[in-house]
Amino acid sequence: MASQDTEWSPSSWRTKPIKQVVTYTNSAAVSSALAKLSNLPPIVTPTEIIKLKRSLRDAALGKAFLLQGGDCAELFSYCADAPIDAKVKLLLQMSLVLIWGSNKPVIRIGRMAGQFAKPRSSPTEVVNGKEIPSFRGDILNGFDPEEREPDPDRLVAAYFHSATTLNYVRAQLGSGFADLHNPMDWELGHVRDQELQAKYERIVHSISDSLRFMRTVGADTAGQLQTVDLYTSHEGLVLEYEQNLTRRLKHPPGYRPATPSADGKGWYNTSAHFLWIGDRTRQVDGAHVEYFRGIENPIGIKVGPSMGSDELVRLLDIVNPSKEVGKVTLITRYGADKVEAMLGPHIEAVKGSGHVVVWQCDPMHGNTRTTATGIKTREFSSIFSELSSALKVHKQHGSFLGGMHLELTGEAVTECTGGSVELGDEDLSLNYTSYCDPRLNEKQALELAFLVAGHYREDRDL
C-alpha cells in the first residue's frame, strides 16, 4: 500500500501498478514529446493554485459553494472563441443564480483547457466489424477509426490547446466579458410552464435589482463586479503528461504548506489549477493515487457505489496525511437510486476520520442510460433527483453540500432528455455532438442552477 512515509517524486508513480495504461508503438517519439513538455512554461501558476486552494477551504467550511462544469471529453476543435465564450457565459450565469440562492460566494471551475482524456471500460471496441482501440480523448488518439493508434505528438498538442484556451479565457475576463454591469441575456423563452417561467424571471429580476442597487450606492467601486476568477480542471488520467508538467516552484508569499521545505518550494502540477482521480483509477496502491499524494494542488476524488467507507478513509489518509482543510474534494457519483443509501455512511466515515473535505455532487455519471435505439443519454429529472437527495442527506447528517460537478456545454445540444425544453428520446438525434458522454445543454444547465438555488432559498426561509 502507498504510504505518506515513502519518498515521493513526480515519477514515483512508475513504481506502482497502473490502470488505464497507454501503450505506444514508438518509444522514441514518446521520449521526444515528453522532453518537449518538460521544457515548456507552466500553464498555471502557484499563486493561482493557492488562491483556489484557499477558496476551497471556505467551501469545506460551508462558507462558499463550488460550481464545476464543462465538457465530458474536450476536443481540440473546441479551442475556438465561440464555444469558449458560451461555456464561460453559462458558468457565470449559473454562478449568479447560485449566489442568489445560497447567499455564499461561488467558486467557478471549468472542465476545460485540459479535459482531453477519458477513461474507458475496454481498451478496444468493434467498429464496422473490426476491433480497434477505443477512443480515449484527443490527447491520446482520434475519434476517426483511422486515427485510433495512440500518437505521442498529441501530448504536446494537448498542452498548446490547453494554453491557448486558458490564454483566451484570461484575456476575455480581463477585457470585461464578465463585467456584471452589463446586462445578460437569460433566454428564458424555452420554459413552457408559465408558472415556472414566472418563478425564474423573478429570480433574474432579483439578481438584476441587487446589481443595480450595488451600483447606485457605490458598493462596486473596487472593481469586484468587473471580472471573476475562473479556474481550470481535468481528470489527471495520463500520468506521463502530468509528470512532465509538474514543477518544483516557489511557494506564493504568505502560503504555509502542510509540509514545509528548506528551499521554500513545492511540487505544483502546472497543467491545471485542480485535478481529480477518476472512479476507475483510485486504487490505494495504484499509480494515480501515488502521483496525486505529492502535489500541492487541490485535488478531487470520484466516489462511486463501489467505494467502501474504510477505503475512502485510507485514500484520504494517503493523499492528505496532514488533514489540510479543503485540500480534497470528494465528488460523489452514486446515481439517483443509490445516493440516499450510500452517502450517509460515507459522510459519517469522513467525519470520524477527522478529515474536512469539500463534498461535491456529480449527478451525471450515475444516471446514464441507453435508449431503445442505442443512444447514451441522461434524464434531467434523475440528475436533479440526485442533487436534491444529496442536499437532504447532508442536512440529516449535520453536513452540507459544498458544490456540484456537471458535464455541460454552452451549445444547444440534444443529449440529455427532460427539463423545461422537454426533450424526449426521439429528439436526441437533432443535435447530439458529444463523442463520449451526454451533456446538459445551456438551457438545462441554467434550469438546474435555478432549481438548486430555489432549494437553498426555501431551506433558509424555513
As annotated, the binding site includes 72, 111, 302, 333, 365, 407, 437
Residues 6 or more apart in contact with residue 211 via CB below 8 angstroms: 180, 181, 225
Residue 35 makes CB contacts below 8 A (sequence gap 6+) with none
C-alpha cell at 104: 455564499
Contact criterion met (CB below 8 Å) for 307 and 346: yes
User: Is 123:133 a contact under the CB 8 Å cutoff?
Assistant: yes
DSSP E strand boundaries for 46-127? 65-70, 106-111, 124-127
Q: Are strands 65-70 and 403-407 parallel, antiparallel or unpaired?
A: parallel
Count of beta carbons in the 10 Å neighbourhood of residue 192: 10
Phi, psi angle pair for 94, to nearest 5°: -60, -40
Phi, psi of 329 (to 5 degrees): -105, 120
First CA to last CA across the chain, in angstroms? Answer: 47
Distances in Å between the Cα of 163 and the Cα atoms of 100, 303, 360 are 32, 29, 27
Q: Please name which of 108, 140, 110 lies closest in space to residue 123, comparing C-alpha atoms.
A: 140
Distance from C-alpha of 216 to C-alpha of 249, rounded to nearest angstrom? 44
368-370, strands of its sheet edge to edge: 368-370, 376-379, 416-417
| CA separation for the pair 451, 462 (Å, rounded) | 17
Residue list, annotated binding site for phosphoenolpyruvate: 111, 302, 333
CA-to-CA separations, 259 to 4, 79, 262, 323, 358, in angstroms, rounded: 11, 37, 10, 11, 21
Strands (E), 371-430: 376-379, 403-407, 416-417
Binding residues for Mn(2+), as ranges, are 72, 365, 407, 437
